[in-house]
Structure 1
Amino acid sequence: MYMFFYLLLAIIGGTCIGFQAGINGVLGKRIGVIEASFVSFFIGTIILLLLVIFAGKGNILNVTNVSKWQLLGGALGVAYVSIMVAIVPKIGVASAITAVIVGQLLISVTLDHFGIFTNQRIPIDWYRISGLCLLLVSLLLIFKGNIKWF
């Protein structure tokens, strides 16, 4: 039962990313790519600050004790949001999100195979390779709808 709940939460998270990409794409056309990325992160920062203050259970001061590479998540988030703000108006939400999913799964399968960030190695097998190939086909089919041949 818990696994279904976690899967449902992941699907909800994915819908948030889809909405975020569309909304930020429109915002980027109105105020600029970097400016829209800044506004998005600023609003997110305010919300997270309130969550840390009122619902946080950890110790944010421990951030000084972590390896510096563990702080790269914020920079990667900036890259992701800025890229999405720039490309969604050009290729659409569906193509952009499908391409993001392809990138996420390619790196995720690689990280699993080598056991990076986890204690468990999950080797690449034909099931995963087949899934990646089918996903690439889906990207091509979804993106093909963007191309006006005539």
Structure 2
Amino acid sequence: MKIIFPLLALLGGFAVAVQAQINGGLGKKIGAIEGSFVSFLIGTLALFFLVLFFGKGNILAVQSVPKWQLIGGLLGAFYVTVMILVVPKIGVAPTLVAVIAGQIIIGAIIDHFGLFGGVKISIDFKKIAAIVLLFVSLYLYNYK
């Protein structure tokens, strides 16, 4: 049963790659910010109906969360806008290599310091080597 979570993450990665290409094309047709808006509007509508029909939480409890926890939507909007701008210029795979490198680097920093209430997981030599290899892969993928 533990395999379900890595498989879901893999499917999430597939979705991000497909979304990048779709949103890149949308942004080329209607504009980057407009494409981000349309993407988020459709996603918001989908989530509205999911909450309406399947939600089991308490959306009104959002008033009690620390305000910094509400910036996730802004970060998502930034991410989608960046993808819309970058994918048409360099393609999906090189963009995602850079995104993954950024995620791993900031993820390692967040884990190392236990930021945002996370568990502390120290950065060691193997993790640093993995980050260096990510940069090597980014270089190899982008430059001929």
Q: Is the 8 A contact 2:24 2:88 kept in 1?
A: yes
**TM value normalised by structure 1:** 0.93
Q: How many residues align?
A: 144
1:53 is aligned with what amino acid? L
Is 1:67 aligned to 2:66, yes or no?
yes
Share of identical aligned residues, percent?
A: 53
Q: Displacement of 1:119 after TM fit?
A: 4.7
1:114-129 alignment, distance < 5 Å:
114-129=113-128
**Aligned-partner Cα distance in 1 for 2:24–2:81:** 9
Q: Which residue of 1 aligns with 2:39?
A: 40
**Aligned-partner Cα distance in 2 for 1:57–1:126:** 43
**Aligned-partner Cα distance in 2 for 1:135–1:52:** 38
Q: Displacement of 1:116 after TM fit?
A: 1.2
Partner SS, residue 123 of structure 2: coil
**Aligned-partner Cα distance in 1 for 2:46–2:4:** 24
Larger deviation: 29-38 or 113-122? 113-122
**Counterparts in 2 of 1:28 and 1:115: CA distance versus 1, 3 Å:** same
Q: Which residue of 1 aligns with 2:140?
A: 141
- Kindly report the root-mean-square deviation, in angstroms, between the aligned alpha carbons of the 2 structures: 1.0
**Aligned-partner Cα distance in 1 for 2:69–2:131:** 28
Unaligned runs of 5+ in 1: 146-150
1:93 is aligned with what amino acid? V
**Aligned-partner Cα distance in 2 for 1:63–1:120:** 23
Q: Is the 8 A contact 2:25 2:88 kept in 1?
A: yes
